[in-house]
Structure 1
Amino acid sequence: MLKNLRLRQKFTILLLVILLMGLSLSGFALSTLLRQNAKNDIAATGVMLMETMTSVRKYTTAQINPELKEKLEVKFLPQTVPGYSAREVFEVLRQRKGYRDFFYKEATLNPTNLRDKADNFETEIVEKFRKDSNLKELSDFRKLSGGDIFYIARPLAVSEPSCLECHSTPEAAPKSMIERYGSTNGFGWELNEIVGAQIISVPANTVINRANKSSFVIIGLVSAVFAAVILLVNIFLNSQVIRPLKHITRVAEEVSTGHMDAEFDKFGNDEIGNLAKAFKRMQLSLEMAMNRLKKSHGNTST
């Protein structure tokens, strides 16, 4: 099949094969690298959000709770709960375009509000933090029935003595809180105990889509550059190889039919130029041989 193709077509096919092989081999490596970069970017955003929620918790404990403490005996105010404040602030933040895919949960082993109850997977995360005090952060992908998610988790410890006013014993807790949540859950906590984990999660397809978007852009740019290279190679090949070869072929055909006045152009000192010089020498040798033949034939006739 290739024998029937022109030289320029063969070079074009060769370059296209190189392009496809290069894209295939580099595509996987590029996809893996960009996926890791996308994961790192999202992880950095998640850490920033978690730091923000931690700040909200501290602000609630130090500023809001003392101001509303007396009212808790009459009416329970969830705004005094650091976890509630953090979650509500996060929901407001999620209304912004850049954070809509992020989710926040304070997964707790024994929460007052069962909404914060850790599931089996989250319980394993909390137990890892409880067993290893040096472990400060975990991140990975998690498989769910609705699709995989990427999560970042940090330990949630009882760092303030004021937390024990609501979580030590039912007798010490505000009556309004007992009336709302009961006296069964959320008690028995101890100071500095890790009771849960702050978890920021985002659908895995967000990570994958961000990586794919970058991959498409880079592959598109590489393909465009390579297309330009193919065009330039074809232009160079046409001017420096194909056109001179066509000229040499045409002149050689003219010489072969007896047109000794046909001229081989000079093409420099490269291989094409040397080929033209070789044909020129062959033309001169052929012309000399034909002249001798004519002269010999003339002498014989005489």
Structure 2
Amino acid sequence: MKSIGTKLFLFIALFTLFFSAFLLQRTHSLAKRLVDDTVHQQAALALQFNLSIRRYVDEKIRPVMYQLVGQEEFIPETMSTSYVSRSIFADVNEHFPELILKFSAEAPRNPLNQATPEELAIIDYFNLNPGAESWQGSVILNDAHYLAQFKPRRTEENCLNCHGSPEAAPVSLVERYGTEAGFNWPLGEVVATDTVGIPIDEIRAKMWTAIVGDLVILVFSLLLLLGGVFLLVRKLIGNRLASISANFEKVCRQDDDSVQLPRLTESSQDEIGSLAQSYNQLADKLHRYHQSMQEQLQARTAMTEQLRREITERMAAEKEKQEMERKILHVQKLESLGVLTGGIAHDFNNLLVPIVGNAELAKMVLPPDSPAHKQLADIITASQRASELCRQMLAYSGQGKLVTQQLDLSEVAREQAEMLAVSVDKKARIHYQLATTPLPIEGDATQIRQVIMNLITNASEALEGNEGDITIRTGSLTCDREYFKQNFNEEPPPGQYVFLEVEDTGCGMDAETAGRIFDPFFTTKFTGRGLGLAAVLGIIRGHHGAIRVYSEPGKGTVMKVLLPLAQPSDQAPVAAAEQPGIDPDWRGSGTILLVDDEEMVRTTGATILRAKGFEVITAGDGREAVDIVAQQPERIECVVLDMNMPVMDGAEAFQELRKIRPDLPVLLASGYNAQEIVQRFHGGKLAGFIQKPYQIEQLLGALQKIMQPAEAPQAQEEKTRS
């Protein structure tokens, strides 16, 4: 058995070894980082100094020289940024010959500026990565390792004065350098770099020499300390502890269960003496502790049982808390995705306005037999499909168009039977288990039909072309908080609900897929867009309902939708607003103020309105529109106003316009639906509303109805008679 002194010696030796290795690695790492940071700073400083010289020559000296010698003269010694900077750093290199600072080009006028193969590779890198602002790293220059920084020199418009065609360059420049090199630089390409290189091998070698020297001294000192500690421990501790250990061995060799320990006779006053006294006190107390052990054991057993019950209760509470947090995160995720999807849809609508408008304008000016009509019609059709995708995205975000009325859910499903039969695969069998009693809900009939159609279509696709059954069930049930808590991520208010179930015998899905099927743009189908079920979720949430998916791989899927049960009501359905028509021969007059933060929307709208005879003033935000009306209130006859704008939005601008001129007609154009607009404007009376993306006929029809309310019906009647 090794003694304590030997173990202590080995421990200190290993500690010294590992500490020295750690110190060596750490010192080397810190010193290397310090050297690299210093070299980086020096390279950046030198490069910035070079760029500042070039900028000063380009912005200060060259314009003055052109004024003095004329545009046809070019004096490189004072007007060339590369010449001046090279001359200055030639003097710097006399004091710092190892420093590299140059202007490197692929085909320079001056051979001193010829790029090396490494520098040519950097130029190619910048051209392949147009967004790169700089590059730095270790390269080999002049057969040595350098830390180099490269700044791309892209051909700009003002560079072409001297580096464009030789015919356009100053005469003196051509006479001096000829017409072969330095001309015909392509605009926007990187043709050269500003290069700074600092040698790092010598710096690192000096650093390593200093580290090794210091480390040798440190290790030698630690070895001396190690030897002294070993001798001291062996003399003062080892021998005396061996005596105490022998006494303990006597106790261990006892054959009975006695707790009586022999006392020690150590009389010194140091730590080992204190250890002996503590041992003697331990021997005296051990007998008393042995007597009370059973009592303490019983108390500990009771305490352990109580603790077990508390832990069980706490684990149950923690599990409930985690489930609540999961549901909150799920709701927050849906809300965040809804805000994102709604924003994308609104931006897409703004982009579709100029696309549709310009395509229709182009059709109007083209000859009837032009072959471009087909392409323009395809553009308009594709834009309408994109608009439909936007409507699905708005439905997911809860911002879709909503026209509510009282519906019987079973009747809505029954009415779609014929359409559903032709929409699913021929091998799919649809079964209806609809409630016989009315199931009234307050909802948008079109959107409820869309929910049923999407769920049935999804169930049909789950059959994957095989024979299978799809079952549609409706009914009502009473839902309490516990039911929602156990079965749904959403927790609507408890009460009476109507349910719609769509069950299929298809392939089913795993838990991960089931948790993502309502995410926008998530799809497992090759041709899918991932918006069908996302729109279903948005519609159901917009109707204050909830949806749950029950599915297992290979066992089919059940989609269960809950919608609040409505009370019987005599309220008439809310009808959708009719799109205003237009007399094709109608011509407008007067001044229209077109307000939109998208420049393309303003440009397209202004072109359409001017083509119909209007004078158009445009504004990029609500504040600008209010200022224009305030300056010339009587000139403006109508305002076409966007909703979402910076500085001042449409609702605030509308209120300000009402203060300036209460009778000024305002036509609102927005991606929001009409019901949301009424809520946003707090009952303010708008002259009209069109939803983006709008077509020319919709915009002009709304303006005709606003500006000639008495003539528009008459013109439409004459058009019908003709």
TM-score by length of 1: 0.66
Contact kept, 8 Å, 1:38 with 1:210, in 2: the verdict is no
SS in 1 for 2:179: coil
Give the residue type in structure 2 aligned to 1:234.
G
Aligned to 1:79: 78
Contact kept, 8 Å, 1:111 with 1:185, in 2: the verdict is yes
Matches of 1:230 and 1:172, distance apart in 2: 81
Aligned to 1:189: 185
Aligned to 2:283: none
Shift of 1:173: 2.3
In 2 relative to 1, CA 145–119 (structure 1 residues): closer, same or farther, beyond 3 Å?
closer
Contact kept, 8 Å, 1:72 with 1:176, in 2: the verdict is no
Contact kept, 8 Å, 1:266 with 1:273, in 2: the verdict is no
1:193-232 maps to which residues of 2 (within 5 A)? 193-209=189-205, 211-212=207-208, 215-216=211-212, 219=215, 223=218, 227=221, 231=225
Shift of 1:76: 3.9
Deviations 1:173-194 (A, max 9, x none): 2333223322100001244432
Which structure features the higher share of strand residues? 2
Aligned to 2:270: 268
Matches of 2:141 and 2:131, distance apart in 1: 28
In 2 relative to 1, CA 154–75 (structure 1 residues): closer, same or farther, beyond 3 Å?
closer
Note the residue ranges of structure 1 that are not aligned, 5 or more in a row.
250-263, 279-302
Aligned to 2:228: 234
Shift of 1:139: 1.6
Matches of 2:172 and 2:89, distance apart in 1: 25
Give the residue type in structure 1 aligned to 2:272.
D
Contact kept, 8 Å, 2:5 with 2:230, in 1: the verdict is no
Aligned to 1:168: 164
1:1-302 maps to which residues of 2 (within 5 A)? 15-16=12-13, 18-28=15-25, 30-69=27-66, 70=69, 76-94=75-93, 101-143=98-140, 146-159=143-156, 161=158, 163-209=159-205, 211-212=207-208, 215-216=211-212, 219=215, 223=218, 227=221, 231=225, 234=228, 238=232, 242-243=235-236, 266-270=268-272, 274=276
Give the residue type in structure 2 aligned to 1:87.
R
Give the residue type in structure 1 aligned to 2:108.
P
Matches of 1:127 and 1:93, distance apart in 2: 29
Report the number of matched residues.
254
In 2 relative to 1, CA 74–57 (structure 1 residues): closer, same or farther, beyond 3 Å?
closer
Give the residue type in structure 1 aligned to 2:121.
E
Query: Which stretch of the first structure deviates more once superposed, 138-147 or 25-34?
Result: 25-34
In 2 relative to 1, CA 244–108 (structure 1 residues): closer, same or farther, beyond 3 Å?
closer
SS in 2 for 1:91: helix
TM-score by length of 2: 0.30
Deviations 1:90-111 (A, max 9, x none): 3344456xx6542112111222
SS in 1 for 2:44: helix
Shift of 1:206: 3.9
Contact kept, 8 Å, 2:43 with 2:196, in 1: the verdict is yes
SS in 2 for 1:154: strand
Deviations 1:213-259 (A, max 9, x none): 674587478x27x8369639836962x6525768999xxxxxxxxxx
Contact kept, 8 Å, 1:46 with 1:200, in 2: the verdict is yes
Note the residue ranges of structure 2 that are not aligned, 5 or more in a row.
243-265, 281-722
SS in 2 for 1:148: strand
Matches of 2:188 and 2:270, distance apart in 1: 85
Shift of 1:164: 2.0
Give the percent of matched residue pairs that are identical in Structure 1 and Structure 2.
Answer: 19
Give the residue type in structure 1 aligned to 2:193.
A
Of structures 1 and 2, the one scoring higher in RCO (CA 8 A, sep 6+) is 1
Contact kept, 8 Å, 1:244 with 1:272, in 2: the verdict is no
SS in 2 for 1:112: coil
In 2 relative to 1, CA 183–150 (structure 1 residues): closer, same or farther, beyond 3 Å?
same
Give the residue type in structure 2 aligned to 1:143.
I
In 2 relative to 1, CA 27–232 (structure 1 residues): closer, same or farther, beyond 3 Å?
closer
In 2 relative to 1, CA 176–213 (structure 1 residues): closer, same or farther, beyond 3 Å?
farther
